[in-house]
A = this chain, B = another copy of it.
Amino acid sequence: VVLADGSVLPMLRPMLKNNTGYDLKHCFIGAEGTLGVVTRAVLRLRPAPAARATALVALTTFDAALALLSRLQASFPGMVAAYELMWRDFVAASLSWQQLREPFDAEHPFAALIDVGGPEEGALQSQLEAVLGEAMEAGLALDAAIAQSHAQARAMWKIREATAVLPEHMHPPINFDVSLPLADIGRFAEACRAALSACWPGHHTVFFGHVGDGNLHLTTDARTVNGEEDAVEAVVYGQVAAFHGSVSAEHGIGLHKKPYLAVSRSPAELAAMRAIKQALDPLNLLNPGKVFDL
């Protein structure tokens, strides 16, 4: 990392454990270049799992989706590579935009796209079959399909990847990237939809999330006239505040979310951030104006 005063922090140490004073690298990860410029990094590589299995599961409630996630994490510890939950509005929009066939015999409130890894193809498939079979017997899952080929896995992922064609169909979209305590995501989505409906009846809003990470995305066309984007954001981030969530799960703050940073960080935290910024970049040379104002 190059600091504001031109000095260089050489931190290319490949040790897994290093308990020698402050863990400086975390000052720079996620700081969006406001504390230093990262010029080199050490990455830890792990072998890719030899086998992967993909499934699409139909679910009735968000709580059932969470219960299924727990079962998968217990059965495939550390190897649940994706747990993408799609609310019905998202699935319906994706099928319509991309002219895809309904994946199940009926429409279901939720669909979870699951990717798990393991050392051996056959064993992985049968273990996934067993876990999903038990989830269906327990009433958690309504229906499930395990991809039998790479083409079938790709077809399942295509439903989720509607985000690629979304801007053609919802214009202009307003995208959100929020995170919530895992158990609250279902109720947050309901509250958020209700709040948007109260202000913008007839809005079209789709929800999907990397629920394994507690991360929810929603995209809405809610607005009656141009220029109401701020009002839509105020409504959604108001719900995030009510659920003590984060206004940015993975995309950072930049300029756009700066007005909402205080939704997720307390005045004391913002003061601590300013103190660190002041300590490492007293002349405010590095990416000035981003994340927060001094």
Residue-wise, chain A 159-194 has the 8 Å CB interface mask toward B (1 for contact) of 000000000000000000001111000000000000
Residue A253 CB within 8 A of the other chain = yes
Residue A289 CB within 8 A of the other chain = no
Interface residues of A in 1-59 (CB under 8 A from B): 3, 7-11, 13-24, 26-27, 29-31, 35, 46-47, 49-50
Residue of B16, B117, B244, B252 near A77 (CB, 8 A) is B117
Residue of B9, B17, B251, B266 near A179 (CB, 8 A) is B17
Residue of B7, B21, B244 near A13 (CB, 8 A) is B244
Q: How near does chain B come to A156, taking the closest CB pair, in angstroms?
A: 23
Q: How near does chain B come to A58, taking the closest CB pair, in angstroms?
A: 25
**Given known contacts A3-B272, A271-B7, A261 and B21 CB-to-CB distance under 8 angstroms:** yes
What chain B residues lie within 8 Å of A179 (beta carbons)? 15-18
What chain B residues lie within 8 Å of A20 (beta carbons)? 246-248, 253, 257, 261, 264-265
Interface residues of A in 223-245 (CB under 8 A from B): 244-245
Residue A275 CB within 8 A of the other chain = yes
What chain B residues lie within 8 Å of A14 (beta carbons)? 181-182
Residue A78 CB within 8 A of the other chain = yes
| Contact call B17/A214, Cβ cutoff below 8 A | yes
Residue A139 CB within 8 A of the other chain = no
Residues on A facing B (Cβ under 8 Å): 3, 7-11, 13-24, 26-27, 29-31, 35, 46-47, 49-50, 70, 73-75, 77-79, 117, 119, 127, 179-182, 213-215, 244-253, 257, 261, 264-266, 268-273, 275-276, 278-280, 291-292
Closest A-B pairs by Cβ, 6 of them: A78-B78, A26-B26, A279-B279, A17-B249, A275-B279, A18-B246
